[in-house]
Amino acid sequence: MSRIRIVALSVGLLVGLFGMSAVASAKALDRPMTWVDGELFGGVVTPATFDPANGNFDELYTCGGAGAFKDGVPLISDAGPGDTDFNGGRWHLNVLIPGRTCPSTADSDQDLNLADFMSTSMYFECPLLPRRGNS
């Protein structure tokens, strides 16, 4: 039951982060913020359909409703543009396990205890764009 609730919360979080209602109403799309090794990126929502079994993905971490990372940013990735292992914005979502504390000063996956996060069945695309003047 707890896993179902976590997946439902994850879906709700993604809908909120990626502005699916904006897609339906043709409004400007949200640009969710993501930390990658201490550098801040803005996401670009791209409606996409694909088979998660075909291809590689980068890991994306979120605290869900349990808080946010450094500067209130909701996401941290293990790879980003410029990294040799970056997969171009193809993601697998991991969420904080209920009862665990969100590391509010984290800005890199190296700052996370990965054992505090659990895998979901959420796979999606969202390319990253660097934010100028940050780090």
State yes or no: pLDDT of 21 exceeds 50.
no
User: 107 falls in which pLDDT band (50, 70, 90)?
Assistant: very high
Give dist(CA 12, CA 28) in Å, integer.
19
24, part of any domain = yes
pLDDT tens-digit map of 27-60: 445 668 999 999 999 888 676 666 777 788 999 9
Which residues span the domain enclosing 49? Answer: 2-130
Nearest to 70 by CA among 20, 114, 36, 28: 36
pLDDT at 25 (0 to 100): 43
Give dist(CA 30, CA 74) in Å, integer.
13
135, part of any domain = no
Q: How many structural domains compose the chain?
A: 1
